[in-house]
Amino acid sequence: MSTLIPNAPPDNRSDEAKIELEYGSLQSPEFLYVSKHPAGQPLPTPVDDEPPYYVNVATLLSFLFLIIIGHIRDFFGKIFKPYDYADLIEKDGYAPWYDGFENFYVRRLKTRLDDCFARPTHGVPGRYINCFLRQRAPQLKYTYNGESTKCLNLSSYNYLGFAQSHGVCTDYALKTVEKYGTSACSPRSAAGTLDKHKECEQVIADFVGKEDSLIVSQGYGTNASVFALMVDSQCLVLSDSLNHASIRFGIRLSGAVVKPFEHNDMRILEKIIRNEIAQGQPRTHRPWKKIIIAVEGLYSMEGNLVNLPEIVALKDKYKCYLFLDEAHSIGAMGPNGRGVCDFFLVDPKKIDIMMGTFTKSFGATGGYIAADKWIIDRLRISYFNSHFGESVPPAVLGQIISSLSVIKGTMNPGEGQERLQRIAFNSRYLRLGLKRLGFIVYGADDSPVIPLLLYLPAKMPAISRKLYAKKIAVVVVGYPATPITTSRVRLCVSSALTKDDLDYVLEQFSEVGDELFMKYRKDAPRMKLEDVLKTNAEDCKRPGFV
Amino acid sequence: MSTVTTVITSYPPTADLLEARLSVSFTYYLNMLERIPGGLIILRYIRSSYKNDPIRSVLELILFLFAVHYFLSSKRKENKSDLVKFSGREVDELNEEWQPAPIVEPVGPLEHWRLNEYHVKGHSGSHVEIEQKPELGTVVNLSSLDFLDLSGDSRMKAAAMDVISNAGVGSCGPPNFYGTQDVHVRLEEDLTRFLDAENAILYGQDFVVAGSVIPAFLKRGDLAVVDSGVNVALQKALVVSRCDIEWYDHNDMEHLEQILEELDPILSKKKPLKRRFIITEGLFSYSGALLDLPKMVELKNKYKYRLFIDESLSIGTLGDTGRGVCEHFGIPRSEVAITIGSLATTFASSGGFCVGVAPMVQHQRINSYAYVFSASLPPYSSKVASEAIKIITESVDASGKSKLIKSLHQKVAHSYSKLQKKFANSQYFEVVSDGNGPIIHLALKPAFRASLDLPDYYGNTVLLTTGKPSRKLNQFSEEYNLECYILQQIVDNVLGAYRAWINREKIVYEQESLPVQNPRLWFHVNNGVLVAELDAAIGALFDVSNKVCSRLRSPNDLTKLREELMRA
Ligand SMILES: Cc1ncc(COP(=O)(O)O)c(C=O)c1O
């Protein structure tokens, strides 16, 4: 027993066994599907079912209790256990690192479910993920016995299952390391640009349907610096209220005026645009220099898709620019995996700045900006990431190029198609199954992100621990990352999962759902597990399932 | 209630009278309060918390009412008064008329030359092939930040390949959600031990670290006293954090002391205590100067500030075993509250890190944006960095010096003195850095620049003088562009004629919030380059700089250069 996280235990399994654990083989060609939005049809607005009112009341009461008890504990804790609060009190004339207010939720909510976060792992985050066994010890420490357990992985952003230690992509990445070394070490403009970078950028531009692209070693960093390049304090950014932190940080850094709009609400967006163009900048009423609409393709906490056709119509009508973050949708959406444009059959030329990351579908890391060549030219000269920060390292370049080639079918033909159709099937299968079991889930039918609503904060640790005991790894999210009343489990589906895996997940969820009283759905009758499993595979392929 | 009225004060009689009056009515209302349910509790609260001082209570009450009023009315009112009323048709017309600027400034003919950057064919080590110049064959790379030339090392590559064949490339998740692997934790431990800190935290890219760490600890109302020569990552981080900023002259400890002294009486009155930091770099990336750490530590302890140092360039290059400025000066790491650094320079990996005391690091794991909202570093990168630390520290000679670092130091010292000697009587260039860092800076001499009518500095001073960033970005500067172009011609010619690839300073001029110094040539010393090659490169640099600059005799020649760019 030690409080140090151990090293990965040796793995003596055969290569075949490992491959199967990282990417389960397809059980039947039945379990494939092509995801595509029916052209011309409006985007169905996901109707978010509401829980019974007493759940809402109980949720608010829970938080009230939590806050009151938290304050009481703080009050007495500071008197009787000052040592525990040493970090919150000024010491020898130095202010505390952070004040108690900033830190209240962390201390009083997160510490209670600390064991559900940051479970240390080792090896490939593929179909299964290996989590180290740990036991809670005082002071937020853990003890480890050196062993790990493999859990079915519904937590990693491994949509297409490219997180693998065997296969064409890994071989290619290894070859790239052999030839190019461990890192290019320098920023792009200082000996950090390799021929491989240029190759990779062309591959991405072709893939997303743009003239040129620029790659960055981190997705967060891509967004964090890109707005400074486009907008200043005389420009307006209309930002979806659920945009990712990296986008919000990037906008803040640029100093532009930002107006958030209600998530995915096109009517409100249009109203804001019309008004803002008419009013111009605050006080001076000079016209805005430019207006950028910033949205995501697939919202990672809601599983909602952007209403791309309408947003493109709006931006054309009002001469705004569109910034589209495809971090979660690129690779995972559309019949060819080319993101939401592919899914909605929207011409990528209509989108001014296409951003995406390699962290999710491609099993790599980093981000890209794809746009017209004249825009990318400006980026090469005036983007922080061109002159500061390391360039994308070689192994990652190898993984990106090879995974994209697999998706396109130029490498290992057929493999890419299978991955794309499996993620589409798996997402719909799991979503429909959960719905029919009586859970409230958010998001679009085809979304590989499935948030399952818990509402009550106490259910977060409960479900996370129960599923973990049944060897299913899930992510729970609550306030402040979500609105206060909508704590949730977020499931990320992967091509690597087999239908049997999903059936196991449904089975366990059904059981835990009954135990924890979580089947809140009211708008349709609840079905029994056996009945769900019987017809789920066919039913999930029908458009507009319930 | 008698207690309320018998407050003893030393106010003048009129105030006494007023207070007595107030007390009476105050008591009356307090009595009323007693009657409503729960009123007793409020009453007791008011009494105890305000120590029965009625004036203060009234003031607080007014403030409270004002706050309520403000929150209820401010939003709508302010916007309304500012809005102009338009009819539907007018809005349509205004929408029709509006013409936005292009999404980014198109690259004009004067800037176009900057797009011609060199690409490395194959591995970017100490000796490289350049894709656009195949005729040159192998050239000496004096542009890389891989100062110890580890990125091609066979042990480093083996470490990378080992992890990739066990864990794949990406980590596919943020550190707080199953993205933390054993190798990440090992690297955090290695960094903690290497830098003699309490704890360490990893980031996916080195450039984002400052922008994420600073806003996690400095908020509105907190104070940062900052060196006015810091790089753009720190400038932006400070602006984003919205803290109060005081600037001291670049690396000028006397000026710093003066400012701290002036601030002291003001700060000592403020309650509760606000967080205050001194923010600086170990080895300044823009000027190449070395921080005067001993004096800095003395000052920050005297005035009770926490010290934040960006050691991106100094860790792995300074000190006997590469432990940065602290080791260089023999000062314990515990004197530095927050140290940030890069894994992508001498550690030949990717990503960045932050080290310091445990509660500070722990706070970042939940409150630092780039850590929470981004996937963790690829596992193999962690392993590679751990391997680099091992390689750097394992071969230590009798005097306690790492052999690798020692060799780098010798090459830096050699190059520096060679460059100084060579350029001692150059008409055009001078060495402007202090010889400590592995990047040696050269810049055009003031007299020569004056003869070309080039300004003393570029950019703007708004942030420096007002503490608030300028509302506008820096406009394109023709002179700055031309001066950079002159340096680029030198870089091109040294490469073309002598097969040595040196670098020039590259910043994003538009985004600089501080005054911008005249651009510099950067000579990156690399441990993999032989001394003879360094000598040859220095000789080449001297010859080429003379040749290029001798053509520029007056401001007129700059105009010609400009025309040349327009024509190209
Ligand atoms: C919408 C969005 N943008 C950007 C990012 C950041 O990407 P990365 O993890 O590669 O830094 C994320 C990751 O969570 C994201 O969801």
Q: Would you kindly state where each structural domain of chain A is located, as residue ranges?
A: 53-108, 117-153+415-539, 168-408
Residues B178, B381: contact at Cβ < 8 Å? Answer: no
pLDDT at B12: 44
- A361 CA distance to ligand 1 middle (Å): 12
AA letter at A499:
K
- B374 CA distance to ligand 1 middle (Å): 6
Residue B103, in any domain of the structure: no
Interface contact A121-B510, CB threshold 8 A: no
Query: Are B274 and B319 in a shared domain?
Result: yes
The best mutation among A159, A357, A358 to test binding of ligand 1, ranked by most ligand atoms within 8 Å of the C-beta, falls on A357
Give me B213's structure tokens.
């760490």
The CA-atom distances, in angstroms, between A113 and each of A38, A41, A56, A463, B94 are 42, 43, 21, 11, 54
Nearest CA in chain A to B349: A183
The best mutation among A158, A220, A392 to test binding of ligand 1, ranked by most ligand atoms within 8 Å of the C-beta, falls on A220
- Given CA atoms B144, B150, B156, B157 in this order, what sign does their dihedral have? positive
- A190 CA distance to ligand 1 middle (Å): 26
**Environment class of B112 (CB within 10 Å of its CB; exposed 0-12, middle 13-18, buried 19+):** middle
**Interface probe, candidates A119, A182, A489, chain B, greatest B C-beta count within 10 A:** A182
For the domain spanning A168-408, the CATH number is 3.40.640.10
Interface contact A95-B274, CB threshold 8 A: yes
Q: Is residue B32 very low, low, confident or very high in pLDDT (cuts 50, 70, 90)?
A: low
Question: Is the beta carbon of B372 within 6 A of some atom in ligand 1?
Answer: no
Mean pLDDT for the stretch of residues B435-447: 94
Nearest CA in chain B to A375: B104
Interface contact B167-A165, CB threshold 8 A: yes
Contacts of B117 in chain A (CB under 8 A): 188-189, 193, 380
Q: Which of B394, B428, B451 is the last residue of a domain?
A: B394
Interface contact B236-A191, CB threshold 8 A: no
Residues A543, A38: contact at Cβ < 8 Å? Answer: yes
Query: Are B162 and B117 in a shared domain?
Result: no
pLDDT at A2: 82
Min Cα distance A12 → chain B (Å) is: 12
Question: How far is Cα B159 from Cα B161, in angstroms, rounded to an integer?
Answer: 6
Min Cα distance A51 → chain B (Å) is: 27
Quick check: B494 pLDDT over 90? yes
Min Cα distance B18 → chain A (Å) is: 37
Determine the 3-state secondary structure of A141 from DSSP.
Answer: strand
Contacts of A221 in chain B (CB under 8 A): 204-205, 207-208, 370, 374
Q: Which domain holds residue B443?
A: 112-136+400-567
The contacts of residue A134 (CB under 8 Å, 6+ apart) are A115, A119, A120, A142, A143, A144
Q: What is the pLDDT of residues B308-354, one digit of tens each?
A: 999 999 999 999 999 999 999 999 999 999 999 999 999 999 999 99
Interface contact B506-A190, CB threshold 8 A: yes
Min Cα distance A456 → chain B (Å) is: 20
Query: Are B220 and B311 in a shared domain?
Result: yes
Mean pLDDT for the stretch of residues B240-244: 92
Question: Is the beta carbon of A156 within 6 A of some atom in ligand 1?
Answer: no
Quick check: B407 pLDDT over 60? yes
pLDDT at A362: 94
Question: How far is Cα B216 from Cα A103, in angstroms, rounded to an integer?
Answer: 11
Quick check: B68 pLDDT over 80? no
Strands A472-473 and A141-153: parallel
Nearest-atom number in ligand 1 for the CA of A157 is 14
Question: How far is Cα A237 from Cα A234, in angstroms, rounded to an integer?
Answer: 10
Q: Which among B103, B125, B508 has CB closest to A352?
A: B103
CATH code of the domain covering residue B199? 3.40.640.10
Question: How far is Cα A187 from Cα A204, in angstroms, rounded to an integer?
Answer: 20
Interface contact B275-A97, CB threshold 8 A: yes
Determine the 3-state secondary structure of B106 from DSSP.
Answer: coil
Give me B2's structure tokens.
């008698």
Query: Are B309 and B294 in a shared domain?
Result: yes
Residues B358, A86: contact at Cβ < 8 Å? Answer: no
Does residue B36 or residue B525 have the better pLDDT?
B525
Residues B63, B28: contact at Cβ < 8 Å? Answer: no
Residue B474's nearest CA partner among B455, B489, B488 is B455
pLDDT at B80: 57
Nearest-atom number in ligand 1 for the CA of A220 is 11
Nearest-atom number in ligand 1 for the CA of A365 is 10
Q: Angle CA(A29)–CA(A32)–CA(A36) in degrees, nearest 5? A: 150
Residue B377, in any domain of the structure: yes
Q: Which among A245, A365, A382 has CB closest to B170?
A: A365
Contacts of B188 in chain A (CB under 8 A): none
Task: Count how many pairs of residues, chain A against chain B, have C-beta atoms within 8 Å.
Answer: 397
Q: Which of B361, B379, B394 is the last residue of a domain?
A: B394
Give φ, ψ of B211 to 5 degrees.
Answer: -65, -15
CB atoms within 10 A of CB B352: 30
Query: Are B410 and B386 in a shared domain?
Result: no
Quick check: B21 pLDDT over 70? no
Residue B99, in any domain of the structure: no
This complex has an ipTM of 0.94
Give me B363's structure tokens.
């706070």
Residue B85, in any domain of the structure: no
Does residue B49 or residue B67 have the better pLDDT?
B67
Residues B538, B140: contact at Cβ < 8 Å? Answer: no
C-alpha Rg value of chain A to the nearest Å: 24
Residues B244, B222: contact at Cβ < 8 Å? Answer: yes
Give me B42's structure tokens.
């409020």
Residues A390, B205: contact at Cβ < 8 Å? Answer: yes
Q: Is residue B77 very low, low, confident or very high in pLDDT (cuts 50, 70, 90)?
A: very low
Helix axes B208-217, B232-241, angle to 10 degrees: 30
Which of A407-421, B177-191, B195-209, B462-476 shows the lowest mean pLDDT across its residues?
B462-476
List the residue whose alpha carbon is closest to atom 13 of ligand 1: B374
Determine which helix (DSSP H) or strand (DSSP E) holds A391, and give its type and residue range. none
Determine the 3-state secondary structure of A501 from DSSP.
Answer: helix
Nearest-atom number in ligand 1 for the CA of A223 is 4
- A359 CA distance to ligand 1 middle (Å): 8
Min Cα distance B237 → chain A (Å) is: 8
Question: Is the beta carbon of A187 within 6 A of some atom in ligand 1?
Answer: no
* Residue B131 in contact with partner chain A when CB distance is under 8 A: yes
pLDDT at B113: 93
List the residue whose alpha carbon is closest to atom 8 of ligand 1: A219
Q: Is residue B6 very low, low, confident or very high in pLDDT (cuts 50, 70, 90)?
A: very low
DSSP state of A85: G
Residues B57, B46: contact at Cβ < 8 Å? Answer: yes
Min Cα distance B541 → chain A (Å) is: 18
CATH code of the domain covering residue B456? 3.90.1150.10
**Environment class of B239 (CB within 10 Å of its CB; exposed 0-12, middle 13-18, buried 19+):** buried
- B413 CA distance to ligand 1 middle (Å): 43
Query: Are B461 and B533 in a shared domain?
Result: yes
Give me B469's structure tokens.
């960033």
Determine the 3-state secondary structure of B444 from DSSP.
Answer: strand
Question: What is Dmax (Cα atoms) for chain A?
Answer: 70
Interface contact A177-B164, CB threshold 8 A: yes
- A219 CA distance to ligand 1 middle (Å): 5
Question: Is the beta carbon of A360 within 6 A of some atom in ligand 1?
Answer: no
| Sheet-wide strand order for A236-240 | A212-216, A367-371, A353-357, A321-325, A291-296, A236-240, A257-261
AA letter at A128:
Y
DSSP state of A388: S
Question: How far is Cα A112 from Cα A89, in angstroms, rounded to an integer?
Answer: 22
The best mutation among B373, B376, B377 to test binding of ligand 1, ranked by most ligand atoms within 8 Å of the C-beta, falls on B373
Strands B199-203 and B244-248: unpaired
Question: How far is Cα A401 from Cα A417, in angstroms, rounded to an integer?
Answer: 17
Question: How far is Cα A460 from Cα B359, in angstroms, rounded to an integer?
Answer: 26
List the residue whose alpha carbon is closest to atom 10 of ligand 1: A219
User: Which parts of B83-138 fold into alpha helices (H)?
Assistant: 88-97
Contacts of B177 in chain A (CB under 8 A): 117-118, 155, 475
Q: What is the pLDDT of residues B121-156, one digit of tens each?
A: 999 999 999 999 999 999 999 999 999 999 999 999
Question: Is the beta carbon of B375 within 6 A of some atom in ligand 1?
Answer: yes
Query: Are B286 and B369 in a shared domain?
Result: yes
Min Cα distance B128 → chain A (Å) is: 9
* Per-residue three-class SS string for B282-306: CECCCCCCECCHHHHHHHHHHHCCE
Residues A326, A336: contact at Cβ < 8 Å? Answer: no
Min Cα distance B405 → chain A (Å) is: 17
Mean pLDDT for the stretch of residues B292-306: 95
Contacts of B152 in chain A (CB under 8 A): 181-182
Give me B450's structure tokens.
């004056």
- A357 CA distance to ligand 1 middle (Å): 7
Q: For chain B, what percent of residues have pLDDT higher than 90?
A: 73
Question: Is the beta carbon of A218 within 6 A of some atom in ligand 1?
Answer: yes
Residue B455, sorted as left (phi over 0), alpha (psi -120 to 50) or beta, turns out to be beta
* Residue B382 in contact with partner chain A when CB distance is under 8 A: no
User: Is the N-terminal amide bond of B515 cis, ω within 30° of 0?
Assistant: no
Quick check: B11 pLDDT over 90? no
Q: Angle CA(B386)–CA(B389)–CA(B394) in degrees, nearest 5? A: 125
Q: What is the mean pLDDT of each run of 10 residues along chain A (546 residues)?
A: 85 89 91 83 73 88 89 86 80 83 80 88 93 86 90 94 93 95 92 94 95 95 94 94 94 94 93 92 91 95 92 94 95 92 93 95 95 96 93 95 95 93 94 93 92 92 94 90 88 94 94 91 86 90 78
Question: How far is Cα B62 from Cα B287, in angstroms, rounded to an integer?
Answer: 53
The contacts of residue A81 (CB under 8 Å, 6+ apart) are none
The CA-atom distances, in angstroms, between A371 and each of A321, A542, B481 are 12, 36, 26
User: What's the mean pLDDT when you consider all of chain B?
Assistant: 88
DSSP state of A360: S
Residues B348, B316: contact at Cβ < 8 Å? Answer: no
- B285 CA distance to ligand 1 middle (Å): 29
Residue A162's nearest CA partner among A391, A358, A354 is A358
User: Is the N-terminal amide bond of A480 cis, ω within 30° of 0?
Assistant: yes
The CA-atom distances, in angstroms, between A144 and each of A135, A136, A149 are 7, 9, 12
pLDDT at A53: 86
Which residues are bridge partners to B278 per DSSP? B225, B307
Query: Are B377 and B458 in a shared domain?
Result: no
CATH 3.90.1150.10 fits A117-153+415-539, yes or no: yes
Residue B449, in any domain of the structure: yes
Question: How far is Cα B446 from Cα B389, in angstroms, rounded to an integer?
Answer: 41
Residue B183, in any domain of the structure: yes
Residue B248, in any domain of the structure: yes
The structural domain count of chain B equals 3
Q: Which of B339, B373, B394 is the last residue of a domain?
A: B394
Q: Is residue B5 very low, low, confident or very high in pLDDT (cuts 50, 70, 90)?
A: very low
